[in-house]
Structure 1
């Protein structure tokens, strides 16, 4: 599949502080690519670099093989964008907003736009300053998707939506990918990303800490094993086992997190003679959170 977005060793500084540092990733046509990180990690800065709203201090970025700054008009014509902080004209109605975007995009067929309005139950006839955050967000979603762009760039797209509409959004993104179009989804919501993306990059303190498929990350995620005993067991017996971490030790019970092949652990468990053992599936949330736990670098900011 052709590459739609290519980011190579990109750095953007804000004075003495860094927004993003030496980040690299690529996105293929038809892919749903997740960009996951805590608030302030560098997600919005990266998006603004892709859109040509910031110039990089170093590194290279292309979108559709074009330069985001020099070729911004051509790139913007081919994308749909939903910002993390959606700004609408407060006294205009939803209908006026959608009509304005339709003119900008030279949209003449309104069938798909009207379908999206119905699917998301968009309020069109009320000035947007009277609407809730969720109802304003629905207008933003329709604006981004209505002209069927080749690339969707979505920053926290389900903010303010109720669970039923979040499910509708998931279906919409899958339909978009099935149509061969590409989605870049930036979020700090683990569940949203897991449900949708083919691959993801995790960004922390302005740096990419991992880029991988969800399936491969799931295989690496820790399994939880709980052992029950009718006799005392020294918790230090598990020290030195590679990929095994003690989570909890109470009277008669030991809970372990396991990321390594399980054979050596099973041999030790057999020696210890537990009366019962339970195991839980890989905890992908826990794996993601491991990347967030260290203190943030105070010199790194996400320019919101």
Structure 2
């Protein structure tokens, strides 16, 4: 399948801060590709580099078959872009603002702007300055989608939207993909990516940690389980579950005997296949067994933190890098 985006070894320095470290990935045409990572991971910098809003320090990118460094008006009209930091002219109405963007981006199907505004309960007659943050975000979504571009590049698109509007947005993304459009979106909301994306790149500290399909991530995700059995002592149940550690990736977290009852309760996490676990406990007298859906969020969050690094130290270091990188990026973009 042809690629809508090809990023090859993109690096970006802002002074002494390196924001991107050899970022490489491919986005197939007609797919939804998500980039997920904590704040400061490099998602916005990656998008801006792809669109030639900022120039990479090294590496290159091809967008819709064109070198992004040669992204003139003709290529830009084929792209719908929603920036993460949305700045809109506030002295005119939403309708006039969208008409201004339509004049720049190219033909917009008659009535399409009103269709999108109605879906998002957006009043286009209101001056932009009077709109709430959520309604301004809706306006940004409409301007990105209204000319039905080949490629949509959306940075944190549901920021500020209520849950109902988030679901409407995800439906709009699905419709775009079904129509053959390509969607490249970033988020730090894992459930959003899980619902929308075909493939996901996990970005941490300016590096691609992994690129995988959502289903592949689910296959490797952690499941939590809870079980209660009668006629077995806690030590024996702990030994049985401990024997599954190597075979099924099961880690027993607690085994307790219920007070006043001849029952033993155990909790565990399961990273491997379900079948070996089911076979091992099939001989027990179970009174309760709860096996949760794979916890994709827990699995992804584990990839955010580097080996040997605590979550707290990772968050602190990331916050420092984000402040430095954002200051330098703003200075360059001016």
Length-normalised TM-score, structure 2: 0.83
Among 291, 294, 301, the alignment partner of 1:279 is: 291
Number of the residue aligned with 2:308: none
Length-normalised TM-score, structure 1: 0.90
Q: Provide, for residues 73-105 of structure 1, a one-character-per-residue CA deviation record: whole Å limited to 9, x for no partner.
A: 333121001111110012221112111101112
RMSD of aligned Cα (Å): 2.4
Equivalences, count: 304
Number of the residue aligned with 1:67: 67
8 Å CA contact 2:108–2:146 kept in 1: the answer is: no
Q: Provide, for residues 184-235 of structure 1, a one-character-per-residue CA deviation record: whole Å limited to 9, x for no partner.
A: 0111111211111111111111111111111111111122222325532275
Number of the residue aligned with 2:332: none
8 Å CA contact 2:76–2:105 kept in 1: the answer is: no
Structure 2 stretches of 5 or more lacking a match? 258-263, 306-310, 330-334
Mapped partners of 1:204, 1:130: distance in 2: 37
Mapped partners of 1:18, 1:222: distance in 2: 33
Change (3 A) 1:268 1:167: closer
8 Å CA contact 1:241–1:265 kept in 2: the answer is: no
Following superposition, the deviation at residue 166 of structure 1 comes to: 1.6
Among 241, 245, 263, the alignment partner of 1:241 is: 245
Q: Provide, for residues 87-141 of structure 1, a one-character-per-residue CA deviation record: whole Å limited to 9, x for no partner.
A: 0012221112111101112326432122112222222222212111111111111
Following superposition, the deviation at residue 57 of structure 1 comes to: 1.7
Among 259, 266, 289, the alignment partner of 2:271 is: 259
Q: Between Structure 1 and Structure 2, which shows a larger proportion of helix residues?
A: 2
Number of the residue aligned with 1:3: 3
Q: Of the two structures, which has the highest relative contact order with CA contacts closer than 8 Å and spacing of 6 or more? A: 1
Mapped partners of 1:273, 1:59: distance in 2: 60
Mapped partners of 2:157, 2:121: distance in 1: 16
